[in-house]
Amino acid sequence: MKPEFELFDRRGFFGALTKTAAILGLAGGAAAKAKGEGTPNPFAYDVSRFQKTDPKLITYAEAARWPIPHKEARRLAIGPDDQLYVCAGNYINRLSATGQHGLEIALSGPACCVAVAADGAIFAGLRDHVEVFDAKGSRLARWESPEPKTWFTGLAAGEKDVFAADAGKLVVLRYDRTGKITGRIGRKDADRNVPGFIVPSPFLDVLIHRDGLLRVNNPGRHQVEAYTFDGDLEASWGKPSAAIDGFCGCCNPIAITALSDGRVVTCEKGLPRVKIYTAAGEFESVVAGVESFPENAHACTDLNDCIHGGIDAAVGSDGRIYVLDIVTSDVRVMKRKG
């Protein structure tokens, strides 16, 4: 007997169910399409024209690539006998000129920077202090933070002095080899015509140039500045530009080093690239362009800031340039072409 009240019979119910499933399937497909493929972003931030380097400008080629033993790499430095010192995580690792792993030094916290003196002494910059080791890795001293908010991001070791770039306090501290602070370099001082460092993200670097002056990057001003050891500003160069001859983004270069003839090697983030400038600041050539660092370039688009990207470089006695990719945690050995 048929019931008196019936909205759907069995056949109708299954028919309606099939139609509903079909409609939902179509809608789901459309939604997935809109989500995954969609139309091109009309508001895209387009820097694609800066991501390809004119091959004529690239004067170096990658000769080798060495993985480093720890993640969260920050800086590298060259020591005696062209041994490479890489700081990553809570460690400093020594690599031979052929990439063989050697000494490993455990630190009391994450390493931010490293420098090695000609006598083999190793200086490790942690965020708020410097740890000193001999060439065998034995701890010699710990130089405490002179001020709150210190954030060491660059070190340079000379015969009598050690310079520590403090991105937190916007100054380069001059230490003697006993750890005593003997000077402060780069603080804004109108009387000495020192403009002051602008460091929006923690990348302040320092190097001792063969001309006897320091070189310090001033990323917020897109400049490289030359200072005497006593803090007098002697020269500066650099211009903001995403083009190959300038320094891109808000704050570059992030790292500097120098070739034996005095030319300066610069590293940038955002558009990761390593370039060479004459000692006077004229753009000369490219060591590695954005194409060489796809993961690094991507790091600044996926994450929510670019302080996790970046590269560093050091120069060997034979002119090879060692480039540390912070994102892929490897060292590229760049050799001059021809």
Give residues in contact with another protein (CB under 8 A).
2, 4-7, 31, 34-36, 38, 41-47, 50, 151, 168, 195, 198, 200-202, 220-222, 240-243, 248-251, 269-270, 300-307
Indicate the residue among 69 and 240 with the shorter CB distance to another protein.
Answer: 240
Indicate the residue among 35 and 56 with the shorter CB distance to another protein.
Answer: 35
Which 8-state DSSP code applies to residue 26? H
Indicate the residue among 53 and 83 with the shorter CB distance to another protein.
Answer: 53
Mapped onto helix, strand or coil, the DSSP state of residue 237 is strand
Say how many CA atoms lie within 13 Å of 95 toward its Cβ: 27
Residue 44 CB, nearest approach to another protein (Å): 7
Residue 325 CB, nearest approach to another protein (Å): 17
Residue 304 CB, nearest approach to another protein (Å): 4
Residue 313 CB, nearest approach to another protein (Å): 19
Residue 78 CB, nearest approach to another protein (Å): 29
221 within 8 A of 199, measured Cβ to Cβ: no
23 within 8 A of 31, measured Cβ to Cβ: no
Indicate the residue among 89 and 270 with the shorter CB distance to another protein.
Answer: 270
- H helix or E strand, kind and range, residue 300: helix 294-302
Helix and strand totals (H; E) in the chain = 2, 24
Query: Alpha-carbon distance 65 to 302, whole Å?
Result: 25
Indicate the residue among 97 and 307 with the shorter CB distance to another protein.
Answer: 307
**Long-range CB contact pairs, 133-137, < 8 A, 24+:** 133/92, 133/105, 135/80, 136/103, 137/103, 137/104, 137/105
